[in-house]
Structure 1
């Protein structure tokens, strides 16, 4: 199965669509990406466009097309 491509340099402000929306939260925007001393992503936060609900997320989940699709669809 193909995985979503996640560009580390462009992750901040990238747009994502939830494959299984809950509470009508379908479209999300990456609003914060934190890095550790090694330059690796340590945390990632996304915000639901409709409700402004913020979720902490393991950025690796964005690679799974069963959970997330790149862009707003």
Structure 2
């Protein structure tokens, strides 16, 4: 059964508090899918963040999104 918390994360918006490479705004583009083939999924406990401006993707542990010194939910100025 899929984790409802993970489902809520998909396509959620995040703002980096300390932007790097001028990347500040991100979308959660992928979450771990336990029903997918191993080669097509990301590791459990991780999300894939996509930078809105550059379209670069990063793997990030879900726990890091809880750190309010690094991430804020939503797009902030």
TM-score (norm 1): 0.79
CA RMSD of aligned residues (A): 1.6
For this pair of structures, how many residues does the alignment match?
64
1:58 aligns with 2:61: yes
Larger Rg: 2
Match of 1:33 in 2: 31
1:10 aligns with 2:8: yes
Structure 1 moving runs of 4+ over 2 Å = none
Segments of structure 1 that go 5 or more residues without pairing to the other structure are: 1-6
Whose strand proportion is higher, 1 or 2?
1
Segments of structure 2 that go 5 or more residues without pairing to the other structure are: 36-42
Whose helix proportion is higher, 1 or 2?
2
Bigger relative contact order, structure 1 or 2 (CA pairs below 8 A, ≥6 apart): 1
Note the C-alpha offset of 1:54: 0.2
TM-score (norm 2): 0.75
